[in-house]
Amino acid sequence: MTDDDYLSLLDRAKNCLPETIQGHERFSLPDLDILQEGKITVIRNFIDITDKLRRDPQHVLQYLLRELGTPGNIETRRAVLKAKLSTSQISERVQEYTDTFVICSECDRPDTRMLKEGRTLVLECEACGARRPVNAKKSTRSDTSSELRAGDIIEILIHDVGKKGDGVGKYQNYLVVVPGTAKGTRAKVKITNMSGTTAFGTVTQDAPTR
């Protein structure tokens, strides 16, 4: 086989690859278009988000309502959440949904579909063929023994920084936002406010931690 023959075969093979394998651009969702109307929060481009995720809008909505601890509904292409919520709170939950119900754990591609096998929900990747059961985290709001409350003092590791520069850590199944902290630091934090499974706190040195 000559070099020209080899290159010709290689080009033919590349042309036969599906687009989902040829493209390696980072998967990204449209920016959330949030409107605050008093104590109501509207995601104006909700259907654009679910179209990009290729998931049933009602499935996405029910996940957000459960995790954010609020009622809500879909109106045309908008999602109406009956609570005052920040863009970062909603964005974090959308990202959690994406990681759990959309992204392939083997190739990190979004080209997946959900299948029901008996009582098990399975994520099947159309790009690499990988399959895995969907392990959606369960809400801990009903577990009063581990419920986080305003006034509690905890110790957490700041593992990320949000868009507004606030440090973000995890405590059990709670996301904890702490202004003035840097990624990689460990801090004692006093919880000042709660919203669903998102907590807001300040750094403190007082009292023992939970």
> Residue 80: what pLDDT?
96
3-state secondary structure of 19: helix
- Judgement on whether residues 148 and 126 belong to the same structural domain of the protein: no
Q: How many domains does the chain have?
A: 2
* Paired residues of 75 in beta bridges: 78
Amino acid of residue 30: P
173 within a domain of the structure (yes/no)? yes
The 3-state DSSP class for residue 27 equals coil
Q: Which domain-ending residue is among 133, 162, 178? A: 133
**Per-residue confidence (pLDDT) for residue 208, from 0 to 100:** 57
Residues 47/57, Cβ–Cβ less than 8 Å = yes
Give, for all 210 residues of the chain, the pLDDT tens digit: 555 555 566 566 656 555 444 444 567 889 999 999 988 999 999 999 999 999 999 999 999 999 998 999 999 999 999 999 999 999 999 999 999 999 998 888 899 999 988 888 899 999 888 888 987 554 434 444 457 888 888 999 998 888 778 899 888 878 899 999 998 899 899 999 887 788 899 998 765 555
Residue 116, C-beta contacts closer than 8 angstroms, at least 6 positions apart: 122
Residue 41's CB is within 10 A of a number of other CB atoms, namely 23
Q: Please, which residues bridge with residue 120 across strands?
A: 117
Confidence at residue 59, expressed as pLDDT on a 0 to 100 scale = 95
Q: Residue 21: its pLDDT value, please?
A: 41
Answer yes or no: do 73 and 106 share one domain: yes
Residue ending a domain, choose from 133, 154, 176: 133
Q: Tell me, what's the pLDDT at 14?
A: 55
* Domain co-membership, 116 together with 101: yes
Residue 144 sits in the same domain as residue 196: yes
Q: Do residues 51 and 94 both lie within one domain?
A: yes
Q: What is the pLDDT of residue 118?
A: 85
Q: Name beta bridge partners: 73.
A: 80
Asked whether residue 75 falls in the same domain as residue 120, the answer is: yes
pLDDT of residue 202: 92
Same-domain pairing of 129 and 142? no
Q: The domain containing residue 73 runs over which residues?
A: 34-133
Q: What are the C-alpha distances in Å from 206 to residues 180, 183, 202?
A: 17, 22, 11
153 within 8 A of 187, measured Cβ to Cβ: no
Token pair for 56: 């049933």
Q: Is residue 187 part of a domain?
A: yes
CATH of the domain at 119: 3.30.70.3150
Q: Indicate the residue type of 42.
A: V
Strand partners, 112: 125
Domain boundary (133, 166, 189) is at 133
